[in-house]
């Protein structure tokens, strides 16, 4: 949000747009506040021994990355502390900041409550995000669920672990249901656009009805 003169991003009547003018979007005042004043960001000198769960999603090599650390009360299994670090844009920073507040408000969410935290809730509390940035809120709930699984591993509650395995839809291209989900989150909400991104079903049209069902499911799940 504070681009330099060398950046491909510049300010216009909207909050941010690129020089080509192909993208522009507004950020709410809440998003801006969390970007400039993030809550619960992990400091370099923090005592890491008090955290008993850690979650991770994404990679800086291919886009946004988020790591979260939790201190969970072992008696009540409520989240008492939530720290995070992200390699990502302003929306990713704001979403992680808000997620940390939601998880620790009041007495703190129980792990089972935190598992049901939806990207839409994070976005609503931020006062909205541009549709192209919706995936930033998805990073948060995925990293949180990964941390919850980590806690259950550490406490030997393996029956409570819920893995998010990807299913291969198209053996010829290796496209999975997770690839379809990511494509929808990035704005590909029609079969044609999903195929442009993933090449799913190009040589195997028999799977396209199932792909269309998944597109509708993820579109409804994330965009209503």
Is position 136 annotated as part of the catalytic site?
A: yes
Distance separating alpha carbons of residues 175 and 191, to the nearest angstrom: 14
What the block records as the tokens of 159 is 């029956």
Distance separating alpha carbons of residues 144 and 68, to the nearest angstrom: 7
Task: Write the Ramachandran bin of 127: left for phi over 0, alpha for psi from -120 to 50, otherwise beta.
Answer: left
What the block records as the tokens of 58 is 């994404």
Q: Of 120, 110, 57, 124, which is closest to residue 84 (Cα–Cα)?
A: 57
H or E element at residue 67? strand 65-72
> How far is CA 46 from its chain centroid?
24
Q: Give the residue numbers marked as catalytic.
A: 62, 136
């Amino acid at each position: 949000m504070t681009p330099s003169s060398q950046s491909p991003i510049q300010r216009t009547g909207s909050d941010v747009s690129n020089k080509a003018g192909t993208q522009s979007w507004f950020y709410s005042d809440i998003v801006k506040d969390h970007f400039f004043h993030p809550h619960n960001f992990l400091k370099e000198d923090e005592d890491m021994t008090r955290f008993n769960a850690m979650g991770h999603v994404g990679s800086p090599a291919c886009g946004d990355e988020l790591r979260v650390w939790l201190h969970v009360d072992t008696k009540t299994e409520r989240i008492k502390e939530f720290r995070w670090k992200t390699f990502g844009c302003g929306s990713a920073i704001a979403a992680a900041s808000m997620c940390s507040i939601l998880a620790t408000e009041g007495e703190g969410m129980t792990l089972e409550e935190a598992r049901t935290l939806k990207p839409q809730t994070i976005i609503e509390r931020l006062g909205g995000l541009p549709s192209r940035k919706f995936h930033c809120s998805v990073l948060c709930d995925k990293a949180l669920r990964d941390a919850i699984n980590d806690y259950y591993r550490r406490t030997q509650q393996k029956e409570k672990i819920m893995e998010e395995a990807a299913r291969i839809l198209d053996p010829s291209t290796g496209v999975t249901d997770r690839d379809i989900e990511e494509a929808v989150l990035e704005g590909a909400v029609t079969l044609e656009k999903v195929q442009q991104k993933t090449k799913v079903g190009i040589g195997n049209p028999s799977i396209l009805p199932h792909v269309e069902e998944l597109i509708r499911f993820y579109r409804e799940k994330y965009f209503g």
